[in-house]
Amino acid sequence: MPTGNVPFSPIALVGTIAILGAYLAAAWAFASGIAGNARKSRRLVNASVYGLYGFSALVGLASALMIYAFVSHDYSIKYVAATSDTTMSTAYKITSFWGGLDGSLLFWVLVLALFSTVAIAVNHKKHRDMMGYVVATIMAVQVFFLSLLIFTKNPFNTYLTTPPIDGQGLNPLLQNYWMVIHPPSLYTGFVAATIPFAFGIGALASGRLDDLWLGSVRVWMLICFGFLSLGLILGGRWAYEELGWGGYWAWDPVENAGLMPWFTATAFLHSAIIQEQRGTMKMWNLALVVMTFFLTVFGTFMTRSGIVQSVHAFGEDNVLAVQFVVFLAVILIVSIGLIVHRSNKLSSRTEFDSFYSREFAFLVNNWILLACAFFVLFATMFPTISEAVNGSRVSVGIPFFNKWMVPLGLVLLFLAGAAPLLAWRKTTRERLKSQFLAPAIIAAITIVVAVIAFPQTKHLSPLFVDQLKLPVSLINFGMIGFVVGSIVQEFWRGTRVRMHQTGGDPVSSILGLVLNKRRKYGGYIVHLGVAVIFFGIAGKAYEQMTDRTIEKPAVVQAGGKTPSGAATWQFSGYTFTYEALGHTSDDHKDAVTAQVGIYDAKGNRIGTEYPAKWDFHKGEGQMTTEVAIRVTPTEDIYIVLTGFDLDTQLANFRVYINPLILWVWIGFMILGFGTLVCLIPQRVVDRLSWKPKTRLGRAADVSIVAGIAFAVVLGIGSQARADTPAGNQGGAATEHVPAGMGMGNAGAGYAAKNRPANETQAKAMKELLCPCGCARQSILDCDCATAADLRAKVMAMMAGADLSTPAARDRVYNSVLAAFKSEYGESIWSTPRSNIPWLFPMLAAVGGLGLLYVVGRRFVARSAAATASAAPVTKEEDETYADKLDDELADTD
Amino acid sequence: MSAADPLRMVKLAGLAIVLVAGWLFVLGTNHFHVTAPVVFVCLGYLAVVMTVLNLWRTGAAAAATPDADDVWGRPMGARGELEKEKKTLLKAIKEAEFDLAMGKLSKRDADSLIKQYRARAIDVIKELDHVGDDAALTVREQIEREVKARRQLAAQDKPSKRAKNAAAAKAEKAAEAKPAEPAPEPDADKPAEPATTEPETAGEAR
């Protein structure tokens, strides 16, 4: 009920009070946790735990009120008015909760509150001695985010004058199935990194640095890894279906923000095993936990401060930037300070018996993963760094990232196959041969088959620098064969060993093997998933694309042969026919949908696709691209309606043929399944084992569990798909739409305009980024008017130039790039020309490799010295105790 | 927070009644028509109830009288540490045997590793036998062992002076309360030295 002219929203009032109450509860829980642990007061620690629960309930209340405001259309609240409207479906109204900056911060607080409630409830008794510090750490993080909400970005702010009758609606790009689940999963991954960090700080502050802490942290880091993986792949799927550029990963800063902590979390999951096995690398593991959390906050900072430019970013906010910088500094100071303070307890004498050991393979894996994380961080921040140093923003585009990340990825892929073949401590030369033989043969066969069946795989690609070119595709396929061979060998041999040990059948043996060694074999499944993802990624190198402008749709004879004529075109062995263009309209949007028939090489009609453009009424003129994708195991046919004219029925299409891309999604599902296997609790395994059933019965139990886990993963992948265009098939327009809608000039689509006539033009266009703010596409790929104009400019600059020799072509190419740089600045280049972005990673890589070798040699030398000085075990075993030991071993699985 | 609270079920029932009553009221005012706003009002009500409950509990916990039996940290004691080490050694032996069967380790390396682990495992089992359980120890021995374990913990954590004095005073009081026992045989009954808190040998490997 408005008082005077100022609107009054009880929801906003109660919501703001809830946030303020949560702030006070967090402060109380923080203080009581610190005091309780410092004074060893059980009651104060209990008070802090209940304070955390109370805080979580208050945040839950604020979130429930926020969503209630969305679903009840309370547009007196600015955030609700800015991100939703009455025509949206309920699902998207709920999605709007995290659709904007303010709500996304509250969503972050909510997810962390839920996670921390579960983590504290589960671990309260096990980690009594440090629970106060753990609660205090979590509450400190929450206090920071709540202070952003209270003092800067309160989502419950109301209008001071008459509120709008209806909202502005959610950004059309976010009205997509994948966007419903991508942000929650990515935020969950980010937030999950806070729990291990809190336990790490708790362990450091309390001095309880035994392995008990590590076990709990490892589980939460695995959850963090799982959700980060899910969030990253869903984001890729969204980009693939919604942005219409045929790809799924553009090394966008927001994408990189989720990838960096994924690298460090993965590194931790491996090095934690070394700590459990050998009792070493404690400081390293704690540093990784801190680094993972730091990178999640840093990623949040990047996307909300405006220091990087991204199509996904929330925009620029200098006040927020300063607050985040201070918080990041506090994290580093406190963490490093505690690690230094406890360094005497953390230091351990790391010894490796051999370079050919699993420990050393894990160490190399860690260094490569860290190298990946720091390279991505460096390259993402380079435009900001260059601007700060010399005033000009130097861009780094996809080619620069790929030149470094591809070789690093191949090394990681090799390690994913090699490490499982190595033994702990030492693998002798004979053992190396027997372990590596079969996978190496499979790798060789894969390469031979690829060369014979797919000669294009011999193509050379640059690595690190343009001058170093290798057949990357062949190497990639070879590595995939090696990894698959390695994993299959591990399962095969492990099953045979188990069958021999237990006398069981193959099915129950393999299930028992996986369940009893689920961290190892779950990890192997994850490695297999990674190999399959690399298989999918390999197809990107063979992507084909064409643009077509069709004046009028064809009339298709039912059951007729492959059509021909002006409305058809052939591409990559398929025939495409433009058959219809229709318009539909509802309360929410206008949709223009084309109908395209697809025929195979034999003339059989294999499908009908409906690419579309949607114009949301509240979308501020921003049309969304609704691509049509025909998915097969070998390739996707990806059709984009890039332009149209409803009056003349002219249509522009861009068609991509994306080989192997389905395997990226399949690979993720395998990776997700492997992660779930690793997370199966021991009590579930015990419950499956204790019943005196037949082996078949036990195998059935286990299969049910495995089936449920796989169904969860499969369900995410299979249920989700792009919203189908609301197309009517056959041009029955229900409402007149102004001519030229979606196109600047009637009769010509931008994507098809000014296509390069030769390779030099294409190379130059590929090197220049489109300044329209799209997903970091080059002017060759972007389908906007600006890109079309810039392509014309490139062609004009090269008109009449001598391109007969390689030297001449290079000269013309460089002069075009220099001309663009002088007009638009260095940010127009997708690959930096200065030496610094190349020099720094190169020096770091060489230095890192050298350091790794030196450190590895020292570890191995220490072990050799220790072995030489240690007295050999010579005494005979006491028979009584040996029997006791054998009895206990018989009960150990 | 104690699970042994006799009124626990009564409190839980009361909480459930308050929740259900509130939800029924919300649904009733909406004629039992379940819509999205109704769902979130119900969730909001749940949040309010949990807020009140936990804010009450936090205040009650802060104001509670410390329970005499509710010690800060129950020391694991010698037995717990040894059991943990034994478990990790058993798993390490099984892992080495598995790696040998898988062909990753040579017979010589595997035998050498397993021999080392077995030797240590046998030592641990011997120590466990000497540690024994509480019933076998006299009251004085139990108190002495408890005090020793607490002092070890205290030494790690640098407790406040007050906590230290309180722990020592408690131990002395308990010792004075029990009648003196005859001095035990030094070999058979002396508690074993606790194991180190950070075993160097291989841990759990799956």
Task: State the 10-residue block means of pLDDT for chain A, 893 residues long.
Answer: 63 94 96 93 92 96 95 91 86 87 91 94 84 95 94 87 82 73 84 93 87 81 92 87 80 88 95 82 91 93 72 66 91 94 77 78 90 91 81 76 88 93 81 91 94 85 77 92 96 92 86 89 95 93 89 72 78 93 84 93 91 78 82 93 89 93 93 92 74 58 66 58 40 31 40 82 86 74 83 90 87 90 81 64 72 74 66 64 82 71
* DSSP H or E stretch at residue A497: helix A472-502
- Nearest CB among A42, A207, A494 relative to B72 is that of A42
Answer whether B199 touches A (CB < 8 Å): yes
Chain B nearest-CA residue for A15: B44
User: For residues A101 and A315, what is the distance between their CA atoms, to the nearest angstrom?
Assistant: 9
DSSP state of B115: H
User: For residues A87 and A168, what is the distance between their CA atoms, to the nearest angstrom?
Assistant: 10
Angle between helices A662-679 and A518-538 (to 10 degrees): 170
Cβ contact A286:A359 at 8 Å: no
The reply to whether residue B51 touches residue A54, judged by beta carbons under 8 angstroms, is: yes
Amino acid symbol at A707: G
Test the B interface: residue of A421, A873, A876, A887 with most B CBs within 10 Å: A873
Angle between helices A101-123 and A131-151 (to 10 degrees): 170
Q: What is the pLDDT of residue A745?
A: 32
Answer whether B204 touches A (CB < 8 Å): yes
Query: Which residue blocks in A207-252 are alpha helix, DSSP H?
Result: 211-242
Q: What is the pLDDT of residue A392?
A: 72
Q: In the Cβ-directed half-sphere of A724, how many Cα atoms lie within 13 Å?
A: 9
Compute the C-alpha angle A181/A310/A778, nearest 5°. Answer: 110
Cβ contact A337:A220 at 8 Å: no
Cβ contact A723:A674 at 8 Å: no
Matching residue, tokens 């071993």: A889
The reply to whether residue A888 touches residue B73, judged by beta carbons under 8 angstroms, is: no
What are the structure tokens assigned to A268, written together? 């931790």
Cβ-based burial of A623 (10 A; exposed 0-12, middle 13-18, buried ≥19): middle
The reply to whether residue B200 touches residue A881, judged by beta carbons under 8 angstroms, is: no
What are the structure tokens assigned to A858, written together? 């020292």
Cβ contact A812:A798 at 8 Å: yes
Cβ contact A60:A82 at 8 Å: no
Radius of gyration of chain B (CA): 27
User: For residues A121 and B56, what is the distance between their CA atoms, to the nearest angstrom?
Assistant: 18
Which sign, positive or negative, has the C-alpha torsion A553, A559, A561, A562? Answer: positive
The reply to whether residue B95 touches residue A424, judged by beta carbons under 8 angstroms, is: yes
Residue A647: phi and psi, rounded to 5, are: -70, -45
The minimum CA-CA distance between A354 and chain B, rounded to whole Å, is 13
What are the structure tokens assigned to A274, written together? 């070394």
Q: What is the pLDDT of residue A674?
A: 94
Answer whether B34 touches A (CB < 8 Å): no
Angle between helices A282-305 and A318-341 (to 10 degrees): 170
Amino acid symbol at B1: M
pLDDT bucket at B137, cuts 50 / 70 / 90: low
Q: What is the pLDDT of residue B45?
A: 95
Which sign, positive or negative, has the C-alpha torsion A614, A616, A622, A624? Answer: negative
* Residues in B touching A208 (Cβ below 8 Å): 156
Q: What is the pLDDT of residue A709?
A: 66
The reply to whether residue B58 touches residue A50, judged by beta carbons under 8 angstroms, is: yes
Write the secondary structure of A159-213 as one string of H (helix), E (strand) and C (coil): CCCCCCCCCCCCCHHHCCHHHHHHHHHHHHHHHHCHHHHHHHHHHHHHCCCCHHH
- Nearest CB among B40, B103, B204 relative to A64 is that of B40
The average confidence (pLDDT) of chain B is 75
* Residues in A touching B46 (Cβ below 8 Å): 60
Q: What is the pLDDT of residue B186?
A: 47
Residue A456: phi and psi, rounded to 5, are: -65, -15
The reply to whether residue B58 touches residue A51, judged by beta carbons under 8 angstroms, is: yes
User: For residues A234 and A236, what is the distance between their CA atoms, to the nearest angstrom?
Assistant: 5
SS3 state of residue B147: helix
SS3 state of residue A645: strand
Matching residue, tokens 């080989």: A659
Q: What is the pLDDT of residue A443?
A: 95
Q: What is the pLDDT of residue B79?
A: 72
Q: What is the pLDDT of residue A216?
A: 80
pLDDT bucket at B193, cuts 50 / 70 / 90: very low
The reply to whether residue A517 touches residue B206, judged by beta carbons under 8 angstroms, is: yes
Q: What is the pLDDT of residue A787?
A: 86
CA distances from A66 to A18, A103, A160, A320 (A): 11, 8, 19, 22
User: For residues A461 and A484, what is the distance between their CA atoms, to the nearest angstrom?
Assistant: 24
Q: Which residues contact B126 (CB under 8 A, 6 or more apart)?
A: A878, A881
CA distances from A516 to A108, A427, A684 (A): 36, 24, 11
